[in-house]
Structure 1
Amino acid sequence: MIFRQLFDATSGTYTYLLASRRGGEALIIDPVLEKVDRYLSLIRDLELRLVKAIDTHLHADHITGLGALRDTTRCVTVMGEQSSVDVVAMRVADGDALRIEGLELEAIYTPGHTDDSYCFRMQDRVFTGDTLLIRGTGRTDFQNGCPRAQYESIFNRLLRLPDETMVFPAHDYKGDTVSTIGEEKRCNPRLQVSSVDEYVAIMNNLNLSNPKMMDVAVPANQRQGLAQDEIALLGWAMTADQAHTMIGSQDTILVDLRETAERQKHGSIPGALHVPYGDLDRTIQPGGTLLQLAATTGHRLLFYCAFGERSAMAVRAAHEAGLETACHIHGGLDAWKRAGGALTH
């Protein structure tokens, strides 16, 4: 397995790059905007293909690199379903599995630092965001943070993992790089409490100043979904209501870009052809099934995904491949549901 822990000294942020093999699919956790060029250079060096970019929560101390990585690599952006970010490509819930080639992460909802905080567990390690730090825990005094919720997240979720589980946090300010669940149980001063009330009292009396970047970072991090607006201005998008009139027509091929687990959990628009976003490139290139299907029938490709991010990127790729009538459903399945569109399960 390829595993890289990268550090931004300005914000004290750790970013993690993972892949199962050299030359394969990769994902990145908690990227920082100013370090995006460094990530892309490393990804090129390792001959990786970035397919997912994850934020553990809405960060207040730096601007995320999710949008820049998406725009450069067409990767899938991921956050928890509770996040106030306007649009990401995929929203996960507690217990969901995030998969790339050869690797799988379990999403664990751990509110407390913020109300959208998630940790991600993979085999022998857990990426704890700002929930559990090395010899500390994330502050709980802004962004709907709650010390009581954080106590539950730490003591009843994270500390129940095997003691040998490695802990990789999103931040450290002392130079520590990794710990374990067992080590934090024994040595983390915040965890040496006898009750939730004692923990709440500690967290409510930290008296910390706000992060220096907070007033800039939070609004910027809430606005990630820009690609769809650009696609709409090009005339390559239709509303859910417009799409409803196209479903079942003889000149339209409806294409669902979501992963199988998403389709099983949330349902699908009737009649859709399933082509996972990760397989799109080969299907629209010469010899690819979508290109051949559209060319031989003259049908328009109508893409959709969960929220419109993946389908917006798919439309751009399709037009670059010469499929000039391709379009997508603005807002994805989320917009389709709000418009009262039918679903199959």
Structure 2
Amino acid sequence: MIFRQLFDSVSGTYSYLLASRAGGEALILDPVLEKVERYCKLLQELDLRLVKAVDTHLHADHVTGLAELRDRTQCITIMGEQSKADVVSMRVSDGDRVMIEGLCLDAMYTPGHTDDSYSYLMGDRVFTGDTLLIRGTGRTDFQNGSARAQYDSIFNRLLKLPDETMVFPAHDYKGDTVSTIGEEKRYNPRLQVKSIDAYVELMNNLNLPNPKLMDVVLPANMHVGLHQDELAKEGLALSARDAIMSLGRPDILLVDLREVAERAKHGTLAGALHAPYPGICATLQPGGMLREVAAATGRRVVFFCAFGERSAMAVAAAKKAGLANTAHIEGGIDAWKKAGGPVVMG
């Protein structure tokens, strides 16, 4: 496995690059905007293809690198379903799995620092975001934080993991790089409380100043979504309502870009072809499945995904590949459902 822990000294942020092999798919956790150039250089040096970028929560102390990485690599952006960010490609809930070639991360909803905080368990290690830090815990006094919820997340979720599980947080300000669940149980001063009420009292009396750039960072991180307006102006987008009206038309081929687990959880559209987004470029090249189907039938390829981000990128990829007769459903299946469109389950 390829594992790199990358540090931003300005914000004290750890980002993590993961891949199962050289030349394979890669995932990055909690990227920082100012370090995107460094990430891209490392990806090139290790011969990796970034397919997913994940934020453990809506950060208040640095601008996320999600949008820049998406624009540079066309990767899938991921956050928890509770996130206030406008658009990400995929939203996970507790128990969902984030998968790339050879690796699987189990999403654990661990609110408290914020109401959208997630940790990700991968075998012998857990990425805890700002929920559990090394010899500390994330503050709980803004972004709908809750000391009571954090106590539950830590004591009833994270500390139930095996003692030897390695802990990799999103921040450290003392130079520590890794801990274990067992170490934190024994030596983390904030975890030596006798009750949930004692923990709440401890956290409610920290009296910490707000992060220096919070007023700038939070609005920026809430607007990371890919702007889909230009595609609509070019006639390459269908509103959910227009897409519903076109359901069943013989001149349209619906193409679902979501993963198998998303389709099983949220349903799909009748007659839609399944072509998961990470392989979209190959299917659009000469000899590729979508290109051949479009050429043979003359049908317009209409992509859709969860929220419209992957489908917008697929339209751009199709244009680049010389396939002009495409479009996407604005807002994805989320907008489709909100407009009352029929969904096939199972």
TM-score interval w.r.t. the shorter chain?
over 0.9
1:45: which partner in 2? 45
* Contact 1:227–1:313 (Cα < 8 Å) also in 2: no
Q: Distance in 2 between matches of 1:260 and 1:30?
A: 25
Does 2:82 correspond to 1:86? Answer: no
Query: Structure 1, residues 178-220: CA drift from partner, whole Å, max 9, x if none?
Result: 0000000000000001100000010000000000010000000
User: In the TM superposition, what is the alpha-carbon distance from 1:232 to its structure 2 partner?
Assistant: 2.2
TM-score, scaled to structure 2: 0.99
| Letter aligned with residue 66 of structure 2 | L
What does residue 279 of structure 2 align with? Answer: 279
Q: Alpha-carbon deviations, 1:292-330, whole Å to 9, x = none?
A: 010111110000000000000001001111111200000
How many Å separate the matches in 2 of 1:110 and 1:26?
Answer: 24
- 1:26-55 Cα offsets, whole Å, 9 max, x none, are 000000000000000000000100000000
State yes or no: 1:203 paired with 2:199. Answer: no
* C-alpha distance in 1 between matches for 2:111 and 2:297: 50
Distance 2:233 2:33 in 1: 26
Distance 1:144 1:323 in 2: 46
For 2:156 and 2:329, how far apart are their aligned partners in 1?
A: 41
- Divergent runs of 4+, >2 A: 229-235
Counterpart position of 1:140 = 140
What amino acid is the match of 1:232?
A
Say which SS state the counterpart of residue 228 (structure 2) adopts.
Answer: helix
Tell me the amino acid that sits aligned with residue 308 of structure 1.
G
Unmatched runs of 5 consecutive residues or more in structure 1: none
2:140 equivalent to 1:119: no
Distance 2:26 2:256 in 1: 23
Q: Secondary structure at the match of 1:223?
A: coil
Letter in structure 2 aligned against 1:86: D
Between 115-124 and 227-236, the greater mean CA deviation after superposition:
227-236
| Letter of the structure 2 residue corresponding to residue 51 of structure 1 | V
Once the 2 structures are TM-superposed, how far is the Cα of residue 227 of structure 1 from its aligned partner? Answer: 3.1
The Cα shift of 1:228 comes to: 1.7
- Aligned position for 1:13: 13
TM-score, normalised on structure 1? Answer: 0.99
1:230: Cα distance to partner? 3.0
Hey, what's the Cα distance between the residues in 2 that align with 1:213 and 1:108?
A: 28
Matched residues, percent identical? 70
- Whether the aligned pair in 2 keeps the contact of 1:98 and 1:107 (CA below 8 Å) is yes
**Where do 1:96-245 residues align within 5 Å?**
96-245=96-245
Residue in structure 1 matched with residue 293 of structure 2 by the alignment: 293
Deviation, structure 1 residue 229: 2.4
Contact kept in structure 2, 1:283 and 1:289, CA below 8 Å: yes
Matched, 1:312 2:312: yes
The code of the aligned residue for 1:245 comes to M
Q: Do structure 1's residue 330 and structure 2's residue 301 form an aligned pair? A: no
**What is the DSSP-based 3-state SS (H/G/I as helix, E as strand, rest coil) of the residue aligned with 1:227?**
coil
Instruction: Find out whether 1:261 has 2:256 as its counterpart.
Output: no
Write the distance in 1 (CA, Å) between the matches of 2:294 and 2:302. 11
Secondary structure of the residue aligned to 1:303 is strand
Deviation at 1:236, TM superposition (A): 1.1
Q: Distance in 2 between matches of 1:118 and 1:81?
A: 10
Unmatched runs of 5 consecutive residues or more in structure 2: none
Give the aligned length.
Answer: 345
Residue 110 of structure 1 contacts residue 154 of structure 1 at CA under 8 Å; is this kept in 2? yes
